[in-house]
Amino acid sequence: CTVITQNIDDLHERAGSSKVLHLHGEIFKMHSPHASEQPVEIRKDIILGDLCEKGGQYRPHIVWFGEPVPMIEKAVQVVQDCDILVVVGTSLQVYPAASLLYYAPAFLPVVVIDKKIPELPYRKEIHTIEAPATIGIGELAIYLNKYFEGA
């Protein structure tokens, strides 16, 4: 299971998820303006003067408003290659993340869980569970058991 998240925290990892794709970056990492350098883990504030090996000022490893979302292509690939797409707890109003639903192949089962189901793009089948995530995930398990029994 791959989790694609817009969250910048590490809650998915702390909950035990091992494959997490952070669309908007990770707050506990920092990077320099030099693209050749990998992000560095950090658990303290970044201060002016925290420089990378090449002399560039470190900044949080997150996407600011107006910046490109570098992980979007990888997320599109995950959506195109998955066996089932489950969308949990989103208004589908924040782009480009909201556009991921459009990359799901037409044959792919899609489940949307939210306490208020947003307007959804036209698809032959989208199974919706209108409930908070804590309840909706339990209903998802029931749906998946039925779905895979019939497959």
Q: How do beta strands 40-41 and 25-31 pair?
A: antiparallel
34 is catalytic: no
| Chain centre distance of CA 95 | 12
Q: State the greatest distance between any 2 C-alpha atoms of the chain, in Å, as a whole number.
A: 60
- What number of other Cβ atoms are within 10 A of residue 67's Cβ? 10
Q: Which of 22, 24, 31, 61 is catalytic?
A: 24
139 contact partners, CB below 8 Å, separation of at least 6: 113, 129, 131
Terminal-to-terminal C-alpha distance of the chain: 19
CA distance 120 to 22: 23
Q: Cα(18)–Cα(83) distance, rounded to whole angstroms?
A: 18
Q: What are the catalytic residues? A: 24
